[in-house]
Structure 1
Amino acid sequence: MKCKFCFILFFVSLLILFGGPLHAEEQQGCFISSLHHTGEGMRYWYEAKDGFMAISGVPYNSLGCKNCHVQSCDDCHLQKTEEGLVYSTEIARSSDTCLKCHAREEATRKYDELHECQGAHAASNMSCMDCHSKKEVHGDGKIYSSMRQDGAMDTACTNCHTKDTQDYPALPDTKSHTVHKGKLACNACHVQNSMTCYNCHFGVLAKTKSKPKSFAMKAKDFLLLVKYKGTVTSGTMQTLVGKNNEPFVSYVPYFTHSIMKEGRKCEQCHGTEAVKTLASSQTFTPAVFKDGKLEFYKGIIPVVPDLLNWPFLEKKGEQWVPFEPKTKPLVQMAVYAEPFTPDDLKKLKVKIKYEE
């Protein structure tokens, strides 16, 4: 009996000595290949053939952007207490920890609070980790070039909204859900607006070393609609300007975490001014510079890159002023974004009245 006990003790000791560190090493291996650590999603699209590096000429690793990504577990888990520094899973699950880096979502939250239009999830005090998985944060050992690459993300509306519970409802069997099933992502109807830091000027950034001073304004007035894997979804855009005023526009699928409980009405997408203009193959200008500031179109804007005319600005002293680019903007459909086709616009041009 004594020998048997000694053998078990010896075996457990081996597990502690060799099993524990191996498991930790595996976890670390997942993390160092994760998008949070590598920042590969930003680098991949920035350095793509049609990415902004074609204008800037500066490799991603020479940009300050690379410093925004998580270097170690400390960035999310380290917490200062009265007893000293400790590792905490609680602080890592806090949305405030996520929003330290995810500045666009932080800007969205502040905008919604200021304008009293908080999204349904924020109003319910949900945290990021209520929807996102540990695998998405820590990685799974694979190197992904984008968060929208197959396998990189687990989060989906239907992970929760499949049946009625005390915390969230099932998807109702409405006419709009039936008609749009398989054609539209939930985001297309339930995301309030796109969020963008408009007109980021690389020359101003290089001169001032200040991100807030390098773009004209934060805009959240319109909703861009793009296609992703053939399905219509919410998106956003980024206009950038090179040192010598070279224009650039990037369109991406994007989930602004600003969710409406009730979806859009049919007439808010079908037969609108923007849709009719684009369906007629005419140029649509989503923003105008008036009285020293930009005023944006309010409503949905289907992405047809060749027909969208975004204004570009340069800084004169402390004032942003529009300029006419000498060349056509370099346009990038990034993160697997797809434009609307003439057939898509033809269907969207038909004015439909909301009836359930």
Structure 2
Amino acid sequence: MKRVRLEFVSFVLVAPTLLFAQADFSTSLHGTRQGKATWYGRNNGGFEQLTDIPMSSLPCQKCHAQNFADGTPVDPATYSPDCKDCHAVVGDKPSQEICLGCHSRQGAEITLSASNPLYTDVHRDAGMVCTDCHTKREMHGDGTSYASMLESGAMDVACDNQDCHPVASLPSNPEHDRHLADVYCSACHVQTVSTCFNCHFETEVATDQKRFYGPPPTGGFTLLLRRQGSDKVTSGVYMAMAYQGKTFFALSPFGGHTVTREGRTCQDCHNTQLVQTYTQTGEIQVTKWDATESKIHFTQGVIPVPPDWRDALRFDFVNYTGDVTDPVKPFDPTKWTFLKSGADTTQILYAQPLTADQMAKLAMDVVSVEDQEPQIPKRFALVQNYPNPFNPGTTIEFRLPKATSVTLKIFNVLGQEVATIYAGKRLNAGVHRVRVKGDDLPTGVYLYRLQTPEFTQTRKMTVLR
């Protein structure tokens, strides 16, 4: 009897979890594949503007691996997203190979890392796999139909999550002290992003195969742009396409799985040849056709996205002259010829270009801070929280010129205390950062106050739900 009872209790505990996951799956991004339609759609400035082919006429939204997780071949004619895409048995934990069956760009990063150090990753080196960072809610959904994985709230993964690299745990150094409030980790620690260049859409339409220029992926670069909703600088990527002589490129935030422990140097971003050229000519050449060698050259390194990006970013496009039924592999450079310079249509989603002020700062000839010792603040200060407004979390930063007793509290606009972070805690001199989760705070304006025997300062912050 005891054994039966224990098994029953186990079922009662596990079954609701599975049921909830299945109930939300239909609205999850794995279930809807909506990300593709969002980017492609003409209403969002997508490539559909040039093709006039609706997403419903393309196979893209039902993209699938060759086999289900249990090894059974997928029949494209009857396929629809389902639990068996990832689970051989409902409730099992999929291996990373299952993820890479669809997420081929990440698979390419892993393959290339064996021969190209730009594609190495500290997380993979530590033995981590996809599910160490990406959550069940991301995979199974939460009942909300997100337009893209880049939409706010769609993803849980973040460098500064409490169980990863919380802001308060980061070392105080010149780079962090200067950039942490307005630059995401990826802008400095992602070595390269990856893209496929100049996708030949005629092949996609005719044969449901992806044909792009060059051996995939194109890498060795990262864009710098601002993440929409936070205004912090992040890494980004471009994707370029052509169809019937019409050309297009899109810009997006993107973080490659190519993270390095050591961040970029100042000179990797500031006063680079690209920035100097932009200052002098107003242009940044991203891809350039070499008529002598009959091939495209890709700009490497950090590529800033300026305010006038539509005109400033210069792309040369190529066209495939072979038959659309030709094998897409191996890459045959003799069948690609120059098409034209410039894009007929451009798109940017979930991001904004850098500001004129940020471009001016990138043009500054800075001195490397690599060998400088962390500086002790010269005065007490309570910094404006970031991001602000925020949902769900924010960071409060304060600076102490000497060791002292610290009280840090949060109040509502009525002056009622709603949270105590420190109460007379003795802290060393330096820059201190505290990650605050506002899960229990309703929408509204709040006050946070730093108090020491020598100093008191209060600032406002806003929670948005």
TM bracket, shorter-chain basis: 0.7 to 0.9
Which residue of structure 1 aligns with residue 245 of structure 2? 245
C-alpha spacing 1:310/1:328, structure 2 compared with 1 (3 Å):
closer
TM-superposed deviation, 1:330: 0.5
TM-score (normalizing by structure 2): 0.65
Is 1:155 aligned to residue 149 of structure 2? Answer: no
Which residue of structure 2 aligns with residue 67 of structure 1? 62
Matches within 5 A, 1:19-168: 24-49=18-43, 50-68=45-63, 71-78=81-88, 86-87=89-90, 89-90=92-93, 92=94, 94-117=95-118, 118-159=120-161, 160-162=164-166
TM-superposed deviation, 1:277: 2.2
User: Is this contact kept in 2: 1:204–1:315, CA < 8 A?
Assistant: no
> How far apart, CA to CA, are the structure 2 residues paired with 1:219 and 1:163?
32
> How far apart, CA to CA, are the structure 1 residues paired with 2:123 and 2:204?
34
Matches within 5 A, 1:247-266: 247-266=247-266
TM-superposed deviation, 1:46: 1.1
Provide, for residues 21-61 of structure 1, a one-character-per-residue CA deviation record: whole Å limited to 9, x for no partner.
77654321211110111011221121143101111111222
Q: Secondary structure at the match of 2:346?
A: strand
Q: Secondary structure at the match of 1:155?
A: coil
User: Is this contact kept in 2: 1:200–1:216, CA < 8 A?
Assistant: no
C-alpha spacing 1:42/1:209, structure 2 compared with 1 (3 Å):
closer
User: Is this contact kept in 1: 2:33–2:62, CA < 8 A?
Assistant: no
Q: 2:346 aligns with which of 309, 322, 331?
A: 331
TM-score (normalizing by structure 1): 0.84
C-alpha spacing 1:23/1:108, structure 2 compared with 1 (3 Å):
closer
Larger Rg: 2
TM-superposed deviation, 1:347: 0.9
Is 1:316 aligned to residue 321 of structure 2? Answer: yes
C-alpha spacing 1:237/1:21, structure 2 compared with 1 (3 Å):
same
Q: Secondary structure at the match of 2:275?
A: helix
C-alpha spacing 1:313/1:230, structure 2 compared with 1 (3 Å):
same
Structure 1, gaps ≥5 residues long: 1-8, 79-85, 165-169
Higher relative contact order (CA 8 A, sep 6+): 1
Q: Give identity over the alignment, percent.
A: 34
Is 1:189 aligned to residue 155 of structure 2? Answer: no
User: Is this contact kept in 2: 1:279–1:342, CA < 8 A?
Assistant: no
Provide, for residues 56-93 of structure 1, a one-character-per-residue CA deviation record: whole Å limited to 9, x for no partner.
11122222211226711111111xxxxxxx44623x1x
Matches within 5 A, 1:199-210: 199-210=198-209
Q: Secondary structure at the match of 2:22?
A: helix
Instruction: Give the AA of the match of 2:344.
Output: P
Q: Which one is further off, 65-74 or 100-109?
A: 65-74
Structure 2, gaps ≥5 residues long: 65-79, 323-331, 373-465
C-alpha spacing 1:24/1:263, structure 2 compared with 1 (3 Å):
closer
Which residue of structure 2 aligns with residue 234 of structure 1? 235
User: Is this contact kept in 2: 1:225–1:232, CA < 8 A?
Assistant: yes
User: RMSD between aligned alpha carbons?
Assistant: 2.5
Provide, for residues 161-213 of structure 1, a one-character-per-residue CA deviation record: whole Å limited to 9, x for no partner.
1399xxxxx422111011002210000000011201010011233345421x3
Instruction: Give the structure with the larger helix fraction.
Output: 1
> How far apart, CA to CA, are the structure 1 residues paired with 2:277 and 2:167?
40
Q: Secondary structure at the match of 1:241?
A: strand
Q: Secondary structure at the match of 1:322?
A: strand
TM-superposed deviation, 1:268: 0.6
> How far apart, CA to CA, are the structure 2 residues paired with 1:191 and 1:20?
38
Which residue of structure 1 aligns with residue 398 of structure 2? none
Q: Secondary structure at the match of 1:114?
A: coil
